Structure 1
Amino acid sequence: MKIAAFCLLFGIWTLQCSASDTVCYGDLGCFTDAPPWGGTDERPIAHVPQSPEEINVKFFLDTRAEKDVQVSNDDMTALGQTDFDYRRDTKFIIHGFLDNGGIKWLEDMSDAFLAVEDLNVIRVSWPGGSFTVQYAQSSADTQVVGAEVGLFINNIVKEFGGDTKSFHCIGHSLGAQTCGYLGAGVPDKVGRITGLDPAGPYFEGTPNEVRLDSSDADFVDVIHTDAEKLKDFGFGINQVSGIVDFWPNDGIQQPGCDQNAISTIVGIEGIADGTRNFVACNHMRAIHFFIESIGTNCPFTGNECTSYGDYRAGKCLTCPSGKCTSMGYGSIKNKNVILQSDQGHNFLQTAPFSPYCEYMTYVQVTLGSNSDGVSGKLYLTLYGSSSNTEQVQLSDEDVSLELRPSTTFSYVAQYSLFPNGFNKVKLLWEQDEFTVTNQQLTVSCITVWVDFEQKLYSFCGDASQKLNEKTRYSYYTCSQCS
């Protein structure tokens, strides 16, 4: 089924040759299919954008007072009769290929924004471009959609006043690339663009003017969730595209996206959404991460690192200025630190299902010199003054450890919550096979590095305390392990 869907979307790349062409659409400007816009290795089929009438861009305003009000980018009098207020920040949300302005995730994101802030939210629909059978044509049409949004912003500022910095464009897939184009029509850059798994085909490897890049707004943050190569059914771009780029779960295969077809297609949101999630689950996951980030207290922190492997090995724990950047809506809070450092590759892990955000810790357990030697697994639970986490295995699933005396075991452990007043851990171990003699461990030290706090906690062990298998033992914070 995935192969059939892939062929439907991208099997349109047959060779065709034509002379370069240019079209002009009034205030929106002129557009060409000459290189680098077409006729290149990255864009083998050249298309000029369709006309605005064919693309059929529509805008729908949501505020706390009224929802789903259709507005126009060239009728400011009518806009002034709505609840739109230029003194509020304004969010434009733009969908991608084969979506439209009525898709549920657009409404979910709008609702999430309005639940936490008094804003103007404008959902952008472009069904005449996004529902074409030729992806290459849709890619070209994003230029006109971006110009339409840019015209809207210019007219708002001209008619009502305000600052272009108060505008934030959020786009998924081709919508993310669309956000990159709106900046060309705005004399002063917009405040922020958020790219949710920006489309890769026809954009990866192209010059900056063709794709979303860090210069398109004062702040550009990007979440990559489907950066696999197109031949392996990856729809996102495998290229740094913002001032700060996040690569959750290496930005390729998202946990929870390997479910069977029936359970995924017949989902709680209906067959249409379920089918989309099955075909493009990794690609859609960036949307869900961002929506969750709007209202959660969980920090979604990412860590700068050269590779996901180094991140998983605990080699990239320290964040610039002692503050890690949050993926999603809160990333801009760390803007000043981000602008002073290269944060093109921020890695983090997430849960397979909502809530997706997890708390990263780096745990080290040092066994005592009088421990018995045995093969087995270690588990750790974190405790605070009134709550505790789930028990987490300190190795990958089905991976056993060679538990030997005076040996330190390290692991990046993810927890679904973090307890207030963290002051205690409980350790449990179990061995792989039955042994005639009763094996016991001792612990000299446990340390837990809490990533979002950028803080190390130490828990002192007791060499005289013998730990029996499958029993939880408590350890309390101490100033430093001896």
Structure 2
Amino acid sequence: MVKFARLSFFLFSLAALVSPIFGQDYSAYLNNRIFQPCMKPVCYDDVGCFQPFKLQAYLGLPPVAACPQPPDELGVEFKVMRYNNSYEFFNLFGISPNSSVAYVIPGYRSEHTELFNMELVDGLLKHYDQIVLVRWDLGANPSLLFDIPVTRYNKFLAAANSEAVGRIIGNSIDFIVNNRSINPDNITLVGHGLGGNTIHFAADWIKEKYNLTVGKAVVLDPDAIPFYFSNKKISGKGDAKIVDVIHSTFVAPVPVLGQRFAGNTKTGALTPTGDSDYFINFPDSWNDQPGCDGLEFCSSHFSIMTFAASLHGCRFETKPCSSNIFQRFTSKEVGLDSSQTGPQGRICIKVSEKPIKRCS
């Protein structure tokens, strides 16, 4: 915390020093929400009020509590995509009435997931009429000064932002239900990391404000840090009529010990929350998924590739998730879709390196 306080002081001082030289107040470009505690609720038009995201359990890392940035600072965009001999792009007004829709919601530092999301989109377009790509780059990787993000420390503000993004997504769901005649049962929300966490906030918002529940949610490696030991929930049962959670990184809910993962890219929830929770290569993959070898984001992205493979028809060997490390995977194979199999509870699956290529 001392190092970060020094960094913040240095950047603020730098902004103050260069301001008179260039005749501008550069301190206005400092995003103090990253390190300044938010102790009171904040309210914004169209998305309501937010209680501070309590972060006291994360000792030595600022802030004590965080609130989301104003919606116009989050950079939220909706791009509707469908395939008709070639990819076509529209806004929400372009959604075909009485059709099926899947939202794709990236997570923390979402600029790193676009290639993986396109693999996901290709798979989803086999099952849905159109895809809504959600962009929230500015909120997912908040800048500290001069549009420069400081990773690790901005994770907490990004987590707070995910609640506002969830409500914005919720408003878009109400729009397509009422203006494009989309049946909520035909809407699926797919989110990775913090994008997966937005699903809970979207679900809560549309239940409370619009009395809506979507048909399905697929939560890919939802972030446990900083949701463990906070006043905010991880996405799970009840956020849709069917909730599947696919886990590829694992952080145990242990105070203080878990906080060292706050800036790591392996911050997935170990606890099951969905109707079906699929744990990939657990417990062998505690450190890395196959082929990742410490590569940043790789193990978390493995959940995206595994789900994309399932959309292409891949099935995976299973075994009960237990503490018996000698238990072998069985020849029984499953897909990753509770709408087809019914709720499966907690289940471990075996997935090889490059899952799409291996079963295509």
What TM-score do the two structures reach when normalised by structure 1? 0.56
Q: Give the Cα separation in 1 of the matches to 2:202 and 2:101.
A: 14
**Equivalent residue for 1:129, pick from 131, 139, 145:** 139
Q: Give the Cα separation in 2 of the matches to 1:190 and 1:107.
A: 23
Matched ranges for 1:322-401 at <5 A: 325-327=334-336, 330-335=337-342, 338=343, 343-355=344-356
Give percent identity, aligned residues only.
23
Residues 15-74 of structure 1 show CA distances to partners (whole Å, capped at 9, x for unaligned) of: 9774622122222121120xxx214326963111001110010011111237463525xx
More helix by share: 2
Partner of 1:58: 77
Partner of 1:155: 175
More strand by share: 1
For the 8 Å contact 2:245–2:273, the answer to whether it is kept is yes
Distance apart, 1:305 and its partner CA: 3.4
Structure 1 alignment gaps of length 5 or more: 1-7, 9-14, 73-78, 260-277, 358-415, 418-482
Q: Give the Cα separation in 2 of the matches to 1:182 and 1:130.
A: 16
1:112 and 2:123 equivalent?
yes
1:188 and 2:223 equivalent?
no
CA 1:228–1:235 in 2, change beyond 3 Å: closer, same or farther?
A: same
CA RMSD of aligned residues (A): 2.9
1:293 and 2:294 equivalent?
no
For the 8 Å contact 2:224–2:251, the answer to whether it is kept is no
1:258 and 2:293 equivalent?
yes
For the 8 Å contact 1:42–1:203, the answer to whether it is kept is no
Partner of 2:40: 21
**Equivalent residue for 1:239, pick from 271, 285, 298:** 271
What letter matches 1:306 in structure 2?
S
Q: Give the Cα separation in 2 of the matches to 1:31 and 1:226.
A: 29
Aligned residues: 298
Q: Give the Cα separation in 2 of the matches to 1:22 and 1:241.
A: 27
Residues 409-466 of structure 1 show CA distances to partners (whole Å, capped at 9, x for unaligned) of: xxxxxxx79xxxxxxxxxxxxxxxxxxxxxxxxxxxxxxxxxxxxxxxxxxxxxxxxx
Q: Give the Cα separation in 2 of the matches to 1:167 and 1:108.
A: 20
Q: Give the Cα separation in 1 of the matches to 2:324 and 2:48.
A: 42
What letter matches 2:130 in structure 1?
N
**Equivalent residue for 1:227, pick from 232, 239, 250:** 250
Q: Give the Cα separation in 1 of the matches to 2:74 and 2:234.
A: 20
Q: Give the Cα separation in 2 of the matches to 1:294 and 1:318.
A: 20
Bigger Rg, which one = 1
Q: Give the Cα separation in 1 of the matches to 2:38 and 2:44.
A: 20
Structure 2 alignment gaps of length 5 or more: 1-6, 8-33, 143-149, 253-257
Q: Give the Cα separation in 1 of the matches to 2:237 and 2:331.
A: 24
**Equivalent residue for 1:175, pick from 165, 186, 195:** 195
Partner of 2:281: 249
CA 1:165–1:304 in 2, change beyond 3 Å: closer, same or farther?
A: farther
Moved over 6 A (4+): none
Distance apart, 1:100 and its partner CA: 3.7
What TM-score do the two structures reach when normalised by structure 2? 0.74
Distance apart, 1:85 and its partner CA: 1.5
What letter matches 1:122 in structure 2?
V
Q: Give the Cα separation in 2 of the matches to 1:305 and 1:101.
A: 30
Distance apart, 1:344 and its partner CA: 3.8
